[in-house]
């Protein structure tokens, strides 16, 4: 009887020791940290990534293993890279061909003068079309590269010129580049015109160019994850 009790005590003590050991090991692992590199500021689309854009942060080892897979081991790995889309401050720096042009490939995206060759960023099956519009036609000049827009076309009926039609002709078109220009209005006041370059397929380029030539267009901001919506043509007779 005493022997059975002794063995029970030994088993209980051994189990308690194992629990204490694993608890200690787990708590100790939470104190282990490692260095992870993150972006210290926002990087604009087609912006050059420099060492000043990157900072070190200390994080728990377990968090790094879970969240920082594929992260860089040195800022030198991405210094000189070109961002392919806008990168938010605090994002973990990774070698990702979908996010950047790697430093060793950047020469392919530069002109002889050293400036960016925008045509190098255009997919082979796409085209660039630029529209010059006043603020009220481009969401008060708030558009920026990588935004998505719908294109609304307004034109005068060729048969009855008293009728004006408006309809959406294209949806979810990517803004490739934006340039703001100061212009003189008819009243002698300086205003702002925005040149918006859009990334479209060849057929969309034809439709957009036709709309530019025979009417006026407006751009409406579309959420990046928005869906195509069915819209109806309207006119001033309704």
Q: Where are the beta strands (DSSP E) in 28-160?
A: 33-39, 54-60, 82-83, 100-101, 127-133, 148-156
Residue 122 DSSP label: S
pTM: 0.70
CA distance 186 to 179: 22
CA distance 21 to 13: 12
Could you give phi then psi for residue 85, rounded to 5 degrees?
Answer: -150, 170
pLDDT tens digits in sequence order for the chain, 238 residues long:
545 556 666 666 666 667 665 565 555 555 567 788 999 999 999 999 999 999 988 877 766 666 667 788 899 999 999 999 899 998 989 999 989 999 999 999 988 888 888 889 998 999 999 998 887 777 777 888 889 999 999 999 989 989 999 999 999 999 999 887 766 555 444 456 788 999 999 999 999 999 999 999 999 998 876 678 888 988 887 6
C-alpha dist (Å) from residue 34 to 42, 88, 111, 201: 23, 22, 40, 46
CA distance 215 to 181: 22
Residues of the chain with CATH 3.90.1210.10: 33-119
CB burial readout 61-99, b (16+ within 10 A) else e: eeebeeebeebbeebebbebbbbbeebeeeebbbeeeeb
Tell me which architecture the domain covering 33-119 has in CATH.
Answer: Alpha-Beta Complex (3.90)
């Amino acid at each position: 009887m005493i022997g059975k009790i002794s063995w029970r005590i030994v088993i209980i003590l051994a189990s308690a020791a194992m629990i204490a050991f694993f608890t200690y090991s787990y708590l100790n692992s939470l104190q282990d940290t490692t260095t992870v590199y993150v972006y210290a500021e926002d990087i604009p689309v087609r912006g050059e990534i420099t060492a000043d854009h990157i900072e070190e942060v200390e994080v728990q080892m377990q968090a790094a293993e879970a969240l920082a897979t594929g992260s860089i081991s040195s800022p030198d790995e991405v210094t000189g890279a070109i961002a392919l889309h806008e990168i938010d401050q605090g994002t973990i720096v990774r070698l990702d061909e979908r996010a950047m042009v790697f430093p060793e490939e950047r020469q392919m995206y530069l002109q002889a003068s050293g400036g960016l060759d925008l045509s190098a960023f255009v997919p082979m099956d796409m085209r660039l079309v630029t529209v010059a519009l006043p603020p009220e036609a481009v969401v008060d000049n708030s558009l920026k590269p990588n935004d998505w827009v719908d294109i609304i076309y307004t034109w005068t009926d060729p048969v009855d010129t008293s009728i004006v039609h408006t309809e959406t002709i294209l949806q979810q078109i990517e803004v490739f580049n934006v340039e703001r220009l100061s212009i003189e209005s008819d009243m002698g006041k300086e205003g702002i015109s925005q040149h918006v370059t859009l990334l479209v397929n060849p057929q969309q380029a034809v439709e957009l160019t036709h709309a530019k030539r025979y009417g006026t267009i407006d751009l409406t901001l579309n959420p990046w994850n928005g869906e195509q919506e069915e819209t109806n043509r309207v006119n001033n007779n309704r």
